Amino acid sequence: MGRYKAILWGITILAGMTGARQADAQTFRTYHCADGTQFIVGFYDYDKRAFLQIDGEPVTLAKRLTVSGARYSGAGITLTIGRSGATTVKHMKRPVTACAVI
């Protein structure tokens, strides 16, 4: 019985080593905006896009060129994060609104 446990243990370790990979670094932030909009944005180290959950829908925004800070847009949504951390969002024909991390 001990021999079989050792074999199973060895297979488990080997499978864990071959299937294991380091977790991707990620950052998630929840925002509340002046117009009542709330959204969650996720950033991953390996990806230049921003991943939003806004109005109950997932949206992927591409990073756009900007003079300072960061700007992401797609699917009618624009997210701007200034160097100072000031954040605005524009979506669904609504005006640009200021947002803060909660």
Angstrom distance (rounded) from CA 80 to CA 38: 15
The pLDDT of residue 10 is: 39
Contact 75, 62 (CB under 8 A): no
The pLDDT of residue 23 is: 58
78 domain residue, yes or no: yes
Contact 52, 79 (CB under 8 A): yes
Q: From the CA atom positions of the chain, what is the Rg in Å?
A: 21
- CB-based contacts of 19, cutoff 8 Å, min separation 6: none
91 domain residue, yes or no: yes
94 domain residue, yes or no: yes
Contact 41, 50 (CB under 8 A): yes
Task: With a cut of 50, list the residues of the chain below it in pLDDT.
Answer: 1-21
62 domain residue, yes or no: yes
Domain count, the chain: 1
The parent domain of residue 51 ranges over 24-101
97 domain residue, yes or no: yes
95 domain residue, yes or no: yes
Sign of CA dihedral 21, 22, 24, 26: positive
CATH of the domain at 32: 2.40.128.200
13 domain residue, yes or no: no
Neighbours of 71 (CB within 10 A): 19
Tell me the pTM: 0.75
14 domain residue, yes or no: no
Beta bridge partners of 77: 74, 91
